[in-house]
Amino acid sequence: MSAVESRTLEDIKDLIVSCHKGCTTAEKISFYNNWANSYEQDVAVLDYRAPSLAASAVAAHFCGERQAALVLDVACGTGMVAKLMKKDGFGRFVGVDASEGMLQRAAESGLYQDLKLALLGEEPLPVQLGHFDIVLVVGGLSMGHIQVKAIRELCQAARQGGLICMTTRGNPENLSYKAALEDEIKRMEEEGLWCGVDVTEVKEWERAVNEHEEDYVPGCVYLFKKL
């Protein structure tokens, strides 16, 4: 049994907590580069449900031809969301991530027609705007990661009538970020940039990694249509 296969839940909790103790952006990217090879195994131990919840939300509300739909997967990681969407009949993916290690694993999946290295919120989104039928960011919208203001670029990347799917956690340490995110979402609705399609609050999002939290932390899936 390899060291990765023998990791316990406590090992993985310690690993994740270590990434969030005042790390710089460069240190976070280095962390994800190093985590890429064991990422999917580790988040399976955490019972991380965001990718499946996001993929299900999109599949339930997308009305077009799935095989032809162009999907932008921001903070794509190793490609977990694309793998799930592939099972639902989607087949055209462009991925963006700030970690070269994660992009390498995503490339190995064979699902992406193109992969781009960029940190959303600090660098321009390196894709053609107004071009995508579906835009997703799963897992990247949280305290210490992608800035809230970046969701405007997600909307800009979608074509008119396209879907934008976002997720965030609702644990105590992320509540201020979640509130700021929802404020920005509301402003964009008021500006006529998009309209709400579905918002799903989930109690058991993933296993908690901090000692002061319950067994599971909550999360939320937001689905919008570009106007």
> Where are the domains positioned within the chain?
49-226
Please give the backbone phi and psi of residue 183, each rounded to the nearest 5 degrees, phi first: -65, -45
Tell me the fold of 49-226: Rossmann fold (3.40.50)
Determine how β-strand 194-207 pairs with β-strand 216-226. antiparallel
Distances (CA, A) of 212 to 111, 112, 208, 215: 39, 39, 9, 10
Q: What is the mean pLDDT of residues 139-143?
A: 90
Contacts (Cβ under 8 Å, ≥6 apart) of 75: 96, 97, 98, 120, 137, 138, 139, 140, 145, 146
User: What is the model's pTM?
Assistant: 0.93
Calpha distance 5→22 (Å, rounded): 28
Residue 19 has pLDDT above 70, yes or no: no
What is the reported pLDDT for 22?
Answer: 58
Residue 126 CB neighbour total at 10 angstroms: 12
% pLDDT > 70, the chain: 93
Task: Determine the distance from the C-alpha atom of residue 163 to the mean position of all C-alpha atoms in its chain, rounded to a whole number.
Answer: 15
How far apart (Å, rounded) are the C-alpha atoms in residues 115 and 103? 7
* 194-207/158-169 β-pairing: unpaired
Percentage of residues in the chain having pLDDT higher than 90: 75
DSSP character at residue 21: S
